[in-house]
Structure 1
Amino acid sequence: MRHAWYVTFEVQHRGMLPKPRHPRLTKTFETETEAKLFAKEKLDEGLVVTAGTLNPHAPKQIIPSSAMSIWLGGVQDQSAEGSNNLDD
């Protein structure tokens, strides 16, 4: 099976840089569930996370950081009791 999903997250760079930078790393996954679990871990670390599908996966999906909590709704429900269910 080919990797169909990606999660991109901030890398907290330590040190003195002449200009502020926001370096990012990307990790790929075979399934959406794997991508969601990894994205939740990075969000729990306080990092900015985005995700989506890789070409040629169709339909193309892009999940911006502003929509991450909605995309992770099911993962959050499974991992914490009493969390809000965000159904579409």
Structure 2
Amino acid sequence: MKKQAWYVTFEIPWKGTAVRSRRSRSTQTFETEMEAKNFARARFDEGLVVTAGTIIPHLPRRAIASGSILSWLEEGQEQASGDPADDPDEPSGRIK
């Protein structure tokens, strides 16, 4: 069995009319950050409150709060896009 290094926690939508004082959450674990990001993106796109992080003793430790999830999901996408405008070493074609 491989070690799970990342977790994603999300709020479970509650169906009902009564007021609840506490919200239910569910957590899933993943081997890689990319798997965790893919799962978190799907839950985030559903409009759910999502948090994520690394499982101890994985280093470096990370805890991503719900307010920082979008920036975490976007980390690394700049390099993956291949857009030369994002590469400071590439000539942009702009006149300075």
Q: Do the two structures share a fold, i.e. TM-score over 0.5?
A: yes
Give deviations 1:24-71, integer Å, cap 9, x for gaps.
000000000000000000000000000000011011100001111111
| Matched letter for residue 41 of structure 2 | K
Report what 2:39 is aligned to: 38
Q: Does 1:21 align with 2:19?
A: no
Q: Distance in 1 between matches of 2:16 and 2:66?
A: 26
Which ranges of structure 2 fall in alignment gaps of 5 or more residues?
Answer: 79-85, 87-96
Runs of 4+ that moved beyond 2 A: 15-21, 74-77
Q: Distance in 2 between matches of 1:38 and 1:75?
A: 16
Shift of 1:76: 6.5
Larger Rg: 2
Report what 1:49 is aligned to: 50
Distance 1:75 1:34, change over 3 A: farther
| Matched letter for residue 20 of structure 2 | K
Shift of 1:75: 7.3
Shift of 1:20: 3.1
Which ranges of structure 1 fall in alignment gaps of 5 or more residues?
Answer: 78-84
Q: Distance in 2 between matches of 1:35 and 1:42?
A: 11
| Matched letter for residue 69 of structure 2 | M
SS at match of 1:52: strand
Q: TM-score, normalised by structure 2?
A: 0.72
Q: TM-score, normalised by structure 1?
A: 0.78
Alignment length (residue pairs): 80
Q: Identity percentage over the alignment?
A: 50
Shift of 1:74: 4.4
RMSD (Å) for aligned C-alpha atoms = 2.3
Report what 1:81 is aligned to: none
